[in-house]
A and B are shown apart, each in its own frame.
Chain A
Amino acid sequence: MSLLEVTNLRVRYDTPRGPVWAVDQVSFKLDAGETVALVGESGSGKSTTALAILGLVAFSGGTVETGEIWFGGKNLLALREDELRAVRASEIALVFQDATAALNPFLTIGLQIAEVLEVHRGLSRREALVAAGKALGDVGIAEPEARLASFPHELSGGQRQRALIAMSLIAKPKVVIADEPTTALDPALALLVLDLLRREREQNGAGVLLVSHDLELVASEAKRVHVMYAGRVAESADADELFAAPWHPYTAALWRARPRLDGERPKRLAAVAGAPVDPAALPTGCAFHPRCEFVVERCRRERPDLSGLLRAEGAMSLRSGRRSACFEKERLALPREEASTP
């Protein structure tokens, strides 16, 4: 059994323009000691999926409509609020992206870290502060005991980011959800964050759910990748397979659009053609069809389900669990020479 298993998750937001399903029929698994990534543009539903795991979509006005989230033999979606509270930070922790916004400006760093241990481990304030000091030292903050009494604005950006991670991981959670952990960070800081997450995975056997739009990052960090588009999973595959040969036109377009440091520098960065999808007015059929270069008539009428290949490599795809929600995946998956040979 997997450490964390999400099945058929569906999250609805009621907007003035009608209901919007930010997450629709999303399923994936996460095992201990591995990194799984959710990738997609803004509005693809990847962050909402992450928030739903800890029951935090209500905070932004969303409702989990259907689905199951299994963790430690319990369906998190069926838990009472106080049972869910015991899971938060203690078993499943969220690392938010912006440390400046995620830390409370009115409270000291020490208190913000210590209160996690007070509420989950029953430590006294003094014991918890000692542990918090250790945790700050572990993430590489100089003079950690002195920093306990500091307020967030008294720290540098890098120290804040370190403190936020120390706070998120202090209760040794089994699952770490990192929501865009490196977005808006300078490269050195991004490396630090990834390093700390990797350490958590390797030393403590935590499963890491990486939510990101950064394909390079995902390619280097994740074992398995789920590409999301308009609230649905467009393609699921192991990272090396996925980027070697995408089975979904959206993955292919995303991969082409990533900024490159090597090779010739293009005048303009490539972009995925067309406008990002409007979640309140989804197109009929496949949500990606207006932007797709492989579009056929069927795409406009029917919505493709996630499935493996029918022909040739179908057996292999079954084994690796590789799946794509595209009617024309064969055209992408099978090398053109092979398809054109008589």
Chain B
Amino acid sequence: MTHFLARRALGLALTVWIVVTLAFLMMRLVPGGPFSAERRLPAAVAANVDARYHLDWPLWRQYVQYLGPLNVDTHGLFGDRERVFGGVLAGDLGPSFRHRDYTVNQILAESLPVSLALGSLALVWSIALGTVIGVVGAARRGSKLDLWLRMGSSLGIALPSFVIAGLLVLVFALTLGWLPVAGNTSFAHFVLPSLALGAPVAAYIARLVRTGLIEALSQDYIRTAIAKGLPFSTVVRRHALRGGLLPAISYLGPAAAGVLTGSLVIERIFAIPGTGSHFVASALDRDYTLALGVTIVYSVLIYSLNALVDLAYTRLDPRIALEEL
């Protein structure tokens, strides 16, 4: 276990470093900069702005400053001039280029908890519902119920989230008046967005569990279990479920990372100040530090969740040894 964790920690560090480096270079390769969208600045002003954000430095020096952990800033913008440490490796994601007076750390500290809360809620109900629908579909394979459930999950996957969100608002907020239309001040505000956010995940899990379970139920050892005189419910629960859940679990790693970091569409519709909108906005605004910041958060999350999935695999399938991962 220690061995596994140590190896994954090393892998995480390496992966994030590569991601940061590539993202850093790619952001700079994109034409335009953080201030080029505004009205044309006089050359002297532009030079001042560039100097203030160190955009006049050679790229390598900007990279070294951004990565840290040594503070090479001489202006004091990235921190105190006297400070020895700075940059990502010191836990400082730098100032936002567009949200003046805010650091990336501050922006993430404000928006990430909102996204995490909403995402967790969406994950909890979508995993639970998706699994139940998948199991019922596989156990009643070919029945009317199975057909309806499959149609439902196809819809869940096919319908874009803004359509689902719109329908939810129309029915539950505007027509029935049970839930608020938008905002994030109470738990009730989170219900509709979490439904819209989790719907495709639930639908996808339902499909994966159904096909996984049907595949597991066709194995020879299931025939053995039936021939032993076990009730069908025991056969499904004890003999088929573990194997049947494996595909859904490997999907959950990346899916959870996506849901937890929020969605631009859902956040716009429900006026929720989460991280999702920063993903798109920061890239479009060439807000270099914010874009890199959310990229780091996302890659750390996806890497950790995948490690968690691997860990879950070893718990579920005794043939997979932790040492080999």
Contacts and interface: CB of A to CB of B under 8 A. Distances in A.
A106 B225 CA distance: 13
B219 A107 contact: no
Interface string B223-245: 11111111100100011001100
Nearest to B219: A101
B228 A104 contact: no
Interface stretch (A112-120, A131-139, A284-292, A324-332): A112-120
Contacts of A251: none
Contact of A116 (B219, B228, B319): B228
A88 B226 CA distance: 8
A122 interface: no
B227 A104 contact: no
Given A59-B223, A96-B223, A101-B221, A106 B243 contact: yes
A56 B228 CA distance: 11
A98 B238 CA distance: 21
A130 interface: no
Given A101-B219, A105-B319, A119 B230 contact: yes
The CB with the most chain B CB atoms within 10 A, among A94, A106, A119, A167, is that of: A106
A56 B223 contact: yes
Contact of A56 (B219, B226, B238): B226
Contacts of A106: 239, 242-243, 316-318
Contacts of B230: 85, 115, 119
Given A106-B317, A107-B238, A153-B319, A116 B229 contact: yes
Contacts, number: 72
B224 A85 contact: no
B318 A120 contact: no
A126 to B, nearest CB: 17
B43 to A, nearest CB: 70
B239 A89 contact: no
Interface string A312-329: 000000000000000000
A227 B207 CA distance: 45
A54 B227 CA distance: 7
B318 A88 contact: no
A119 B224 contact: no
A189 B306 CA distance: 43
Interface string A72-100: 00000000001001111110011010100
A104 B319 contact: no
Contact of A102 (B220, B231, B243, B319): B220
Given A96-B220, A98-B220, A105 B227 contact: no
B229 to A, nearest CB: 4
A116 B239 CA distance: 13
Contacts of B316: 106
7 contacts: A88-B228, A89-B229, A93-B227, A96-B224, A98-B220, A102-B220, A107-B239
Given A59-B222, A85-B231, 6 more contacts: A88-B229, A101-B219, A104-B221, A106-B242, A106-B317, A115-B228
